[in-house]
Structure 1
């Protein structure tokens, strides 16, 4: 049964003071009057008398007090609210940022957890706090709003109620001190709360609410236009490290809302200059912004950025591309076709939207690849060593009479080696400059100075520097390409290897084992995987650390609690996330059909980069599919067993229907004769005995069927207790002899008393069946013997008859269901082939088996063994 998910109602305003909290509290009182369990979770203390008065009469959950840098801060008490579990909870200020040390970074995450646990939430927010509208609000008001909510939070709201008030009335309320205190009110009137600004914000709020209403009428596969369903739009935004790219992403997000489109964000890793891990903070921030706005993040790899973008747009059926355009002028732009024009030329049928870059050039981040510009002592040592070697060889060349051109090639060769052995560009640049300066110092007149008399030397130096620099840059580019291709090949190999290993894993334990080792070896990090067993998360650790370190970083009480939270809420948490970020690990929920089936924790640190995250998400998808496939296989096995059981039931009914008819007809016929005919005493006794024999046979048959059905449905679930097996045998003999008083059954029991751990009812049925089988296939004057032999750790039980015996070709068949021998005497109609089959199944359930041997000179021996109970003294 699916878990109930709470509903979210947002009271939306265009500015502070419009009455959002007041309207929310009024709604709460109406709900309470209708006997709805509604409580106040958190109400912002605005010091507004009318609002504060409405809090009276409503149950309020006490805030949690957090000590932060000597300040006592009050926050919403999420844990206490979950424990209280009301129908509806009021939580003010949806965009609020929680105090450090709280479970979640943002209050909207608290609300998401409440909704996940089936609690309805009423909350408030102003239009300027919605992420995609941030740049518009900044342009209108000149104010940067730092507390924002992702658009998906607003879009997931079940109800949005716009709290509207005329801007002039709001300004009047502000002047009367009903919104802010006097000092704050005067400042607000001169800045944010101008009539023009409020009118614009009100228009945005009305439009956003209208879009929300329109969204309800949107088809799942498209949007309605003139009564017809249009094709689903797919909008792609290009991410860069530029500060202005945030504006581009927000514009794209608003287009997605307007067109009800799919949303993809791509960034291109240039194979000529970048490595997958070579990513600036600006690019990471913009990727995170796109993810917050609901985009699917996709990295692309290639040296031709325009071609990568157009190829992806074609393959993914993108209908609109949104990208930014810089207003700066670069020298290289004069010699190449602009990126935007190349994208337009290479895409057909795709609309391209260009958002201008409005950030001043002087404030822009040049986005140097810092990893390439940080030479260390090793790099400087290599530089000095090869320049020195080139200088030494140059002096030898000069002594041997070689020209300066030959010496120049030595320095170019040195720069080549330096570029190969060092991983950053700055070292290559320093090598080029150093080679020119050293050549000038040692080999041009006047020597041992940096002056040059010959007017042609400056040209020589320039050509030498250009040649060295180009050589070094080309080598470095090749090196970067090699690194990129190796990492791409490694990722492909890892994914392929993971897929193959998971395909071979047949059980959940094998899947967890392969997955844990694969991720541990790939990331070189400790991994813990939690799998629910009987509603308890059981961890499996994959780590090379010491036990103490493992318990401290992976299995501490805090880490286990976070893993449990992730499983219950089906969301990631831990290090690097906005939820429970003080953890040592980052935790992901492994999903099957959208529901969590396991949790994985990875011990990470500050070097946990985006590429690792992207790769691990791909692997976790494989993990989830493997667990889902394994679960489906188990369901298939269960279904097959159920089918087999249904077939067994049908076979039993088909088989016994005819065999039951004969004794039932005999019983009813004899009973009718006894009631309706005049019979002498001998005839009456004979008919009565026949009725008794038939009824006893039917009773035994029903008991066999019930015992067999119990084992078939319950498997090895036995009601075992310590039993004296002698008592079971004696009770079976007593029952058999009640029906066969002319039979002689002897019991040779051991001198001591031995205890066995068995299901007494099934064992009694076993012995009754064996004795009944011996009677059925042996003459009336034949003696039947039960023998128990005791060894050090077991009991051996034998049932011996002196009948006709069992042919060798039948010995392997008599334990099959419904197998009966050819008629060899006795009442053949009374055998339907269940007795010995049931005996074998009972013994299998007890960890033993039944065997049959010939008895000399005639007859058969049925034999089985049972383990004696350990640690029991025998008398």
Structure 2
């Protein structure tokens, strides 16, 4: 590298950034896609590990949100007391930065980086507190959700429909020495949410419906993954810049947007930020100014540079006489792969006289792509305002606007006619005036066209028919031609206006039909009353404007179900009108006979059976009544939503009825099992006891022993039956407690086989265990119970012999129990694990309740394993039940024993 080449020396900005990053305090951010992914738990687990290694770790502030697992992880670590603030009579608790600075731990854990502090705090934002701690030399760990980054706030708002009120500058993520991505799949996060591990149950339900949808979580997860990958790319970039390695590199995209201090800068900056986010690319904004400009940037330029920094870009300002050369110099130094320019349309003369900046860059940029971003035309602000006013005037209904357009068109046509007459002799200029009439008819309609025809007739007479500049007509054929022109122009303009009106009506009707079809598809796809409610309020708000709220009928009460905007609520007086609409089945509220001064009008959603809901609608302009078309749209939407809601409610009732029927079936099965499986052993016990009582002196000792054995066996059978019922109840309630001990699978199988031999003395149980059989983590009693249930079931449905085999399969232990019975139908291989299902159907000669295999599945899942059935098993007969449990390694001290 030449010593005097300034372009190939290490980047001073990169070296400065490196020196700044080497300050005493280090920042580590645990980044997640959404609340509940486990950022706080990951921080606390790492904090416990460092604490065990002797690091001075202190919890500055942890938000547990009532989560038991988070509270358990926070226990055992030193926690700073919170600072109490009284804000408008409401007590608040905030992070105490003074206590943290006084304590000065080696590592401080502060949760929720995007939090907004109470008004009386030293800094308005918590991230500013953390910066002060870093400057004081304290290492800080914190947590952040991707939606709180400033550059992504608008993108997240469009994805989720919820605005982000608390944001963090992107530069803070860039300054962090470490960024740890904490990620779980959307389905698992939704399951955690429904289980109450993220929010309280009442909050969790609304969160699942509004924010925590699979689509939203997938989009947020992609943003988090992209931003983390971008952070890794930034680290590589800094290393290469510090070592003066030239680019551009193919490893990642780098963007450079060129700005000038005008009103287009903000649009260019935002487009570049979105493109950089989509490409996972770093980006630079270069503000260019020609020589002779003031040294200090003006207000507009300063605002543009601040916006660049806010959105995560790097801002630079250059004064240059050769924009193309300086842009390429910066691009090569910063290893830019794409240059972005704002582009306005240029006229033919400008293209002929001067080469554009884009053309100059494209000709000289080797290996760098040049992109043009469209900008509005170069019309000055005042001219744009005049054009906007003229456009609004042309679209405003009324005679003055029609007359103004007709006069403007006629004046323009007269000017064109004079210009043409000056260069050539035209025998008839009436066609030019007819063009003005057609323009008025196209833009405004029939009335404007007829007015243009009248004004054109007068103007043609005054300026082009001799004697000129009078309304007299010297020759009769000129009068006849003028009269024909007036009739033709009026008819043509009238037809043009009618065609325009019909086209606009057809377009409006087409859009209405498309919107109605989309609404119908939404209602057809809606599977619940809540889905129908949201489709209804969004349809009303999108089609008519204003605000909408839907109140669902539950019993005799009206419950808010959906609203747009989401924060819309009805006050007590408006609820009175809503109840009137519900009880009477009539429209009430705004511009009706009942409470007409309210802001909302309530429509009952009625079906032939009853009123299912009430829609509250507030129009955008309450001073004007709804048009006939809007009334029709609202009525159709109400009718469709009523039918869809009634269908959804019927589905809900059908599901409830099916659940009740299932409960009835289970009850019938339970009663049938009780009737058989309790009566049989009770009858045997009763008979044996009666025989013992009556024949106390006549019975031989062997008979007495046989009767006592019968009593013992049947009592054990009863005990197993009741135990199965209790065990199934505990599994259903989720209260089965599984110990996590090291279990010898071979011992568990031997215990279960011995128990099965005693229970079924006339049957053979063959055991085959692999010599290298491993251990599992679980409960030996429960595992033995599972194997015994499988053996008991196999003996009931087998014929002579039952075999149990165990071996290692990869990282699992596989235990199989095989019988030689008739087998199970393929359709029933999964159903046999359902409660009260019996492969023998209604055949009660086979003892049992149909609970054994269901209990086995519940216990195996509690120990982290799986169970399945195969049939046929051997020689086209029999059934094999296979249990797989994860292998566990014994600790070294256990192996030594």
Taking structure 1 as the reference length, what is the TM-score of the superposition? 0.41
Taking structure 2 as the reference length, what is the TM-score of the superposition? 0.40
Structure having greater relative contact order (Cα 8 Å, sep ≥ 6): 1
